[in-house]
Amino acid sequence: MLNHIVVGSNDIERSKRFYDAVLAVLGAGEPMAHTAEAGHRRLFYRHAGSTFCVSEPINGEPATHANGGTIGFKCSSPEQVKAFHDAGVAAGGTSIEDPPGQRNGSLGPMHLAYVRDPDGNKICAVFRG
């Protein structure tokens, strides 16, 4: 359904350190860096047919996170969920909500972990077994 997701960053180098760490857990490699003609910088992480982009805002305004928004990354095991979370915290993110672990929700049991990146974007690691 999705082709790509873009989040804003006020410090692209800090975001690169964070996303290099968490996305490496999922198998994503080094991002493609791009500087647009207007001067804003972007990082494109490509993996398994999807693209995740971190960008300085095109309009030159400060980046802000989406209140109520979450980006979920699919994991292959409960251990990968925990590793994603731990890599995010070690790379400058903030653990939020409940500790990583199993939840029983309306979609059935799943393993989840939530982290805010250094710019406040809420990301989630998800495993449904």
71-114 pLDDT tens trace = 999 999 999 999 999 999 999 999 999 999 999 878 889 999 99
Q: What is the pLDDT of residue 15?
A: 98
Mean pLDDT computed over 11-17: 97
Across 25-29, average pLDDT: 96
Q: What is the structure's pLDDT at 127?
A: 96
**What single string gives the DSSP state of each residue in 1-33?**
---EEEEE-S-HHHHHHHHHHHHHHTT--PPEE
Rounded to 10 deg, the angle between the 12-25 and 78-90 helix axes is 160
Fold exhibited by the domain 4-127: 2,3-Dihydroxybiphenyl 1,2-Dioxygenase; domain 1 (3.10.180)
The pLDDT value recorded for residue 100 is 96
CA distances from 81 to 22, 31, 44, 104, 129 (A): 10, 21, 22, 16, 12
The model carries a pTM of 0.92
Q: What does the domain layout of the chain look like in residue ranges? A: 4-127
Number of neighbours of residue 87 by Cβ within 10 angstroms: 21
